[in-house]
Each structure stands twice: as C-alpha cells, then as structure tokens.
Amino acid sequence: MLEYLPFEVLLEILHRLPVKSLIQFRCVSKSYNSLITSPAFINSSFTRSHSDSNKLIVRYLDVKPQVERYKLIYEDNDNSDSSSSEQIQDLEFPLRSSSRDYFQSVGSSSEQIQDLEFPLRRSSRDYFQLVGSANGLFCLHEGNRFILWNPCIRKFITLPNPSVPGLFPCYLALAFGFDLRTDDYKVVRIAYQSINIRYEGAKPPLVEVFSVREGSWRITSGGDSYPPKITISNWPHQAASLNGAVYFSANDWGEAQSSVVLSFDLGDEVFRMISLPNGKFKLDGKFKLDAHICTSVFKGLLSLICYEHPYMGNYYTCSVKCCSVWVMKEYGVVDSWTKQFTIDLNMQYWKVLGFLKNDHVLVQKIQTHGSMLLSYDPESQQVKNLGFYRSTCYSYADNYVRNLTLLDKPNDVVSKRKVSKKRKCR
C-alpha cells in the first residue's frame, strides 16, 4: 500500500516515527534504507526535532564502579519531586567491551532510553576525556583514539588515528563542532609548542581536522592564521560550538596581557581573536591572564561563563565566589558584550553545566563524596534540587536532540582510508 502513497506523505510518516522504528524500517528494502540514511532525510529530521527538544543530557563520572553515566533531564518539568524517574532518566555508559551488535545490546524503548552501553574498553585507568558535543553528538578521546557517539541512535564510530603525533614538547588543544557550509561534523586537533611562548612566541601550530564526511584526518593551513603569543586555556572545560566555528578561552601573552576568546572557523579554517568585555570588571578594566572563563552558548549566542574566586592574601582560592554570564549580541563587536545575570550561590565549589530553555541554569554543586545537580532561576534566584549523584568530577551537559547522524556508518572504525602523511610538530 505504501507504493501508492505520494512521496511527500511517505516522508511525513517517516519523520513522525520514533528512532527505533526508523532503524527497523531500514530492513524493509534497499530503497527504504537509502532514503532513511540519505543526508537530505537526516538533515530534515534534525531540523524538525531541534526546535522541539526539551531535554538535556548530562554526563557524569561514577567513581565506584568506574563508569561513565548519562542522565536525561526534562526541562519543562515544574513538579517539586524532581528526582522521579519520569523527570530524570539514567543512560548508563559502562564502557565495557562487547562483541554483540550495538543496537541489540541496548534498551528496547526509543522513548525511555536506559542502560545505554558503550561497547569499548579503555586502555588505561582514566576516563575518556570529553572533547565536546554538537547537535547531540559527543566526541571523546583517549590518547590517539577518538570516538564519536550518538546517544539518540545508540551508535558510535572510532576514528582513524591522527597523522600528527602528540609528543612532548607539543601541547594539544581539541574541539568538536559542526561545519554549516558542508553539513559536516569535524574534530579539530591543534598541536603547538608551548615552551617560552609567553616571552618569545612560538612557531605556528599544526592544525589537523577530521571530517566525518571524508572519513580522514587532514593537516590544514590554519596554523598560518594563529595569533602569536596566544595559548589556549587548559583548565577543564570544552570549547563551545556555534554557527560553524569552535571557541576556546585563551590567553594573550603579548602587550594585551589578558584573557581572550580564540575562534576557529570550520569552513575557512582560519583563527580569529575576539576581545572580552572592556572596562567591566577584573584587573585594570580587563580580564586578567588565566581568568577562569568558559565559552558557551546562551539562546543561540556566543556567551562567557566568568567565575570569580575569593581573594585571600596573595592568591585566589579554588572555591567560587560568584559567576557572571555574558553574551555577544552582535558577533565580532566587542561593545555588544552584555551581562545577562550573576549567579551568587551560598556554596564553595560549583560549576555551571548549561542553560535550560526556560532560562534556568543547570548547576553542579561539587562535594567531597559526590555532587548535586541544581536548577537556578536567575530572576527569582531560587535554587531547585534535581537529584543527587555520586560523581566527584566535573560533569557536562548538552541538549538532547533527535539526530540520525552516523546511522549509515558501521559500528566500528569508520574507515581505513589513507590519512595525511605523518609530520612532526615543527
């Protein structure tokens, strides 16, 4: 009977199906498989679902047993009992090896995703490091091994090893984002020499980009546009991804002697430096070097999460005094930086994880034996407890959206295609 349906009607039906049904429909025929895995259908499905997303996916690390876990937070929930399973769902990420097909090893429900199992084993005792996320896809790495994971379709791919070795004295900075020009997801790997960069500068870094569409790493000419005497901050946070570029918090060790934002355009592969708000606060009317600043996205705009720490004697403590959120309302215009609000919580150690659609802020309260997940309303300054979990490490949050990217990829190493010729850090 489907043969007599107009193609537009068939597309509408498929777009309304849950993800599990779409995966099953790929087995109906070659034409169905080709349609569902086509870039046009994947892009259309993502565009439809992106505006309807009402969930955050939160990553945290469980110490005993040593596993990575993910929770789904429903943003539109207003009930006082925030810890119920209807509002917070667990997505386990045990990182255990498995020979079974990934789609058969996970929960059967597409609406309530539980016990997601990532069938890979770490080669060391440490957790995977999170490079970042974009449109619901996560990029993690361990040494030279990079992994892209799509929790929506419960699928991962392992990338080929990079062509540039990360050996001393090279320092590596990583990012993950979406290239709007080519509809392609890219991993950015920057290798530069950090020795004496504060005083003498350094040679241009080697910039390597992995393209999911091409399936290989490529050394770019991006290092030629890298500003001199700039270092990317290495305190634990991820580069933000927005409008086809990735954004790092960085330090300018030249005449400015201040913190800055360094962007890398995934399309033209060029670095650009963005100054921070002038005359607002910090030392001498500018953000001092090594300021604790995170790049983020707030309401579709580039934003800064700026932490202030109590001052005691000749040093700043590790605890957080308060945090301000700034947004750049007109891209590239320094004067358009606008302070949205300040978060001042009566606690020592905490971190902003993300922003909800109702403008509330997701906050992690860090404690000795675990952490607490909180929702903060900047307008009323009310704090709401979303539940307790055992992680003592920094967590991460991103929008959970329906995205079919990687559906057409095998669930192992993405390819064994040739990669660029190996070169050493110059």
Contacts for 309-313 with beta carbons within 8 Å, 24 or more apart? none
Using the predicted structure, report yes or no on whether residue 423 has a pLDDT greater than 90. no
Q: What angle do CA 278, 279, 283 make, to 5 degrees?
A: 105
**pLDDT score recorded for residue 2:** 61
Using the predicted structure, report yes or no on whether residue 164 has a pLDDT greater than 90. no
Higher pLDDT, 222 or 18: 222
**pLDDT score recorded for residue 208:** 95
Phi-psi region of 358 (alpha: psi -120 to 50; beta: other; left: phi over 0): alpha
Burial class for 252, CB neighbours closer than 10 Å (0-12, 13-18, 19+): buried
Using the predicted structure, report yes or no on whether residue 120 has a pLDDT greater than 80. no
Using the predicted structure, report yes or no on whether residue 176 has a pLDDT greater than 90. yes
Find the range with the poorest average confidence among 196-200, 209-213, 383-387.
196-200
Average pLDDT rounded to a whole number, residues 36-48 = 83
The number of C-alpha atoms within 13 Å of 89 and in the hemisphere containing its C-beta is: 18
Burial class for 410, CB neighbours closer than 10 Å (0-12, 13-18, 19+): exposed
Confidence of residue 106 (pLDDT cuts 50, 70, 90): very low
pLDDT digits (tens, 9 = 90+) for 252-269: 888 777 889 999 999 999
Confidence of residue 271 (pLDDT cuts 50, 70, 90): very high
Using the predicted structure, report yes or no on whether residue 298 has a pLDDT greater than 70. yes
**pLDDT score recorded for residue 322:** 86
pLDDT digits (tens, 9 = 90+) for 346-370: 888 888 988 888 888 999 888 777 7
**pLDDT score recorded for residue 242:** 94
**Residue spans in the chain of domains classed CATH 2.120.10.80:** 44-399
**pLDDT score recorded for residue 69:** 76
pLDDT digits (tens, 9 = 90+) for 407-421: 888 766 544 444 444
Using the predicted structure, report yes or no on whether residue 161 has a pLDDT greater than 70. yes
Find the range with the poorest average confidence among 21-25, 27-31, 44-48, 284-288.
284-288
- What residues are paired with 177 via a beta bridge? 186
Read out DSSP for 36-90? HTSHHHHHHHHHHHHTT--EEEEEEEETTTTEEEEEEEETT---S-TTSTTTEEE
Rounded to whole angstroms, how far apart are CA atoms 416 and 409? Answer: 13
Using the predicted structure, report yes or no on whether residue 384 has a pLDDT greater than 60. yes
> Where are any strands of DSSP class E within 279-349?
293-298, 301-308, 311-312, 315-316, 322-328, 337-343
- What residues are paired with 299 via a beta bridge? none
For residue 217, give Cα distances in angstroms to 12, 38, 76, 163, 420.
37, 23, 40, 7, 6
For every residue of 334-368, which 3-state class applies, written as one string?
A: HHHEEEEEEECCCCCCEEEEEECCCCCEEEEEEEC
**pLDDT score recorded for residue 235:** 65
What's the chain's length in residues? 426
**Sheet with 67-74: strands ordered across:** 88-93, 67-74, 55-62, 396-399
For residue 299, give Cα distances in angstroms to 66, 326, 337, 360.
35, 11, 14, 11
**pLDDT score recorded for residue 81:** 41
Using the predicted structure, report yes or no on whether residue 75 has a pLDDT greater than 60. yes
Residue 229 structure tokens: 């005497």
Name the CATH superfamily housing domain 44-399.
Kelch-type beta propeller (2.120.10.80)
Count the Cβ atoms, other than its own, within 10 Å of residue 168: 8
For residue 91, which of 135, 58, 124 has the smallest C-alpha distance? 58
**pLDDT score recorded for residue 197:** 60
Using the predicted structure, report yes or no on whether residue 339 has a pLDDT greater than 50. yes
Q: Is the peptide bond before 227 cis (omega within 30 degrees of 0)?
A: no
Find the range with the poorest average confidence among 136-150, 175-189, 248-262, 382-396.
382-396
Using the predicted structure, report yes or no on whether residue 110 has a pLDDT greater than 60. no
Q: Do residues 165 and 153 lie in contact, with contact meaning Cβ atoms separated by under 8 Å?
A: no
**pLDDT score recorded for residue 138:** 92
Q: What is the dihedral of CA 78, 61, 381, 72, to 10 degrees?
A: -20
**pLDDT score recorded for residue 304:** 93
Rounded to whole angstroms, how far apart are CA atoms 215 and 221? Answer: 19
Average pLDDT of the chain? Answer: 77
- 327 CB contacts (<8 Å, ≥6 apart)? 298, 299, 301, 302, 303, 304, 337, 338, 340
Please report, rounded to a whole number, the percentage of residues in the chain having pLDDT higher than 70. Answer: 71
Residue 21 structure tokens: 């049904």
For residue 353, which of 187, 241, 237 has the smallest C-alpha distance? 237
Using the predicted structure, report yes or no on whether residue 207 has a pLDDT greater than 90. yes
Higher pLDDT, 197 or 414: 197
**pLDDT score recorded for residue 98:** 33
